[in-house]
Structure formats: structure tokens, C-alpha cells
Amino acid sequence: MKSIITKYTKNCMICGKPTTTEHHFLFGKGIRSLADEDGVKGPVCDEHHNMGEITRRIHDNSAAEALSKMVGQLAWEKNRVAAGMTEDEAREAFRKRYGVSYL
């Protein structure tokens, strides 16, 4: 898994159990594929991804989904800042690439 979120991809980032799938922090129409390309994803177990109780998982939990997108954007921007952009430039570059800003 190519991930800009974590280098520890063998364990669920929420509970530490063995990874069974990957979560794209940015998702939605036309967005998930960009997140895939950019590595804005992390390791999760099925329960914490989309199969556990609704209050324990990321998907279909509106607050968790909103936070996921904010974290994804921050990680993406941090990457660009590390490559030499200012924070404002990185924010604009994110908006341009993804067509949206969650922050």
C-alpha cells in the first residue's frame, strides 16, 4: 500500500488488529481515484472501515467521514509543504486538484 498517512500498514490504524483493507481518506465522486494515486489512504480492519457498528466505523458515520476528509487534506498539504510549497499554495493546489476543500 502506498500511503502518505503512515508507514505502518500491517495493522489497523484504529485498533491495531491485522489490516484487512485500506481506507481512502478522501472519497466521493471522482475523488477516491485521485486519493488512490496520491496515497491518501491507510490500513484498517473491516470492522473499523465499514462493517462494524455504525458508531465504531468510519463509513456512514458522518462525523468520522468529515474528519477523515480533513485528515486526508492535511496530510496531502503537508506533503506539498515538505516539497517546498507555502501552506497557502498547498491549500490552493489541493482545491485545484480535488475540486473541493474540507478546511
Closest distance to Zn ion from the beta carbon of 75 (Å): 15
Residue ranges binding Zn ion (CB under 5 A): 12, 14-15, 23, 45, 48
The least CB distance from residue 65 to Zn ion, in Å, is: 9
* Minimum distance from residue 93 beta carbon to Zn ion (Å): 23
Question: Of the two residues 49 and 91, which places its CB atom closer to Zn ion in the complex?
Answer: 49
| C-beta of 51 vs 103, nearer to Zn ion | 51
Cβ atoms 33, 54 nearer than 8 A:
no
